[in-house]
Copies of this chain bind each other. A is one copy, B any other.
Amino acid sequence: MTETAVESKSQQAYAAVKARIVEGTYTPGYRLVLAGLAKDLGFSVVPVREAIRRLEAEGLVKFERNVGATVSGIDPTEYLYTMQTLSIVEGAATALSAPLIGAADIARARAVNEDMRECLQHFDPIRFTRLNQDFHSILFEHCPNPHILDLVHRGWNRLASLRSSTFRFVPGRAHDSVDEHEALLKLIETGADADTIEKAARLHRSATLDAYLAQANPLPQSNAGSLNAR
């Protein structure tokens, strides 16, 4: 009883390290030493090791044999890959979810989007990003295919760990983003077909990516990142 139901130490270690990465205690490049983490958390190295390997599988840390683990950096290339992948799986997840999204969900999403619109005034990239995630979560969480849903979560996790908060780099994108959200809601509300919704959701994300690329790399590098160009 007392229901300790405490998760395994591997699990605890995983959650703890992940939290510190996402919250920024461990910045990219930070060296994760097994023994150090173990002593810090009060565990032995074995569960910590397992946690690190899990984080590696998710791409939050890089691990090198006989050398050690470091927190993954904001490699712009990685960011591009992650965003592109996310545009595809999130688009699919949103399209699959659409038929299962009820009026209540739409209302909640719309409320969140209004918060975002307000947020545009005294712009706070962190808060805006959080709201953005809330918004999209409402749209894709009903996805009936757990594998796809898992891929979406992984993508968001990576973005979070990259601490990019794209909107910090491209504040101008925020305004368009809010408008696109409303358009997306309208599509879902009116029961648009899956293909249309998928395309809209995908474009919404790759537009953010393109905005980032345009800002990071002045030359208009065609559509290196966009799959839906044309």
Quick check: is A82 within 8 A (CB to CB) of the other chain?
yes
Alpha-carbon separation in the docked complex, A147 to B80 (Å): 10
Q: Of B57, B81, B148, B193, which is within 8 A of A147 by CB?
A: B81
Chain B residues with Cβ below 8 Å from A228 are: 194-195
Chain B residue at minimum C-beta to C-beta distance from A58: B57
Q: Once the chains bind, are A81 and B145 in contact (CB under 8 Å)?
A: yes
Q: Of B50, B89, B148, B227, which is within 8 A of A95 by CB?
A: B227
Chain B residues with Cβ below 8 Å from A183 are: none
Interface residues of A (CB under 8 A from B): 8, 46, 49-50, 53-54, 57, 59, 65, 81-82, 84-85, 88-89, 92, 95-96, 145-148, 151, 193-195, 198, 227-230
Q: Can you give 30 contacting A-B residue pairs, CB < 8 Å? A: A8-B65, A46-B46, A49-B50, A50-B50, A50-B53, A53-B53, A57-B57, A59-B147, A81-B145, A81-B147, A81-B148, A82-B147, A84-B147, A84-B148, A85-B145, A85-B147, A85-B148, A85-B151, A88-B92, A89-B151, A92-B227, A95-B227, A96-B227, A194-B228, A194-B229, A194-B230, A195-B227, A195-B228, A195-B230, A198-B227
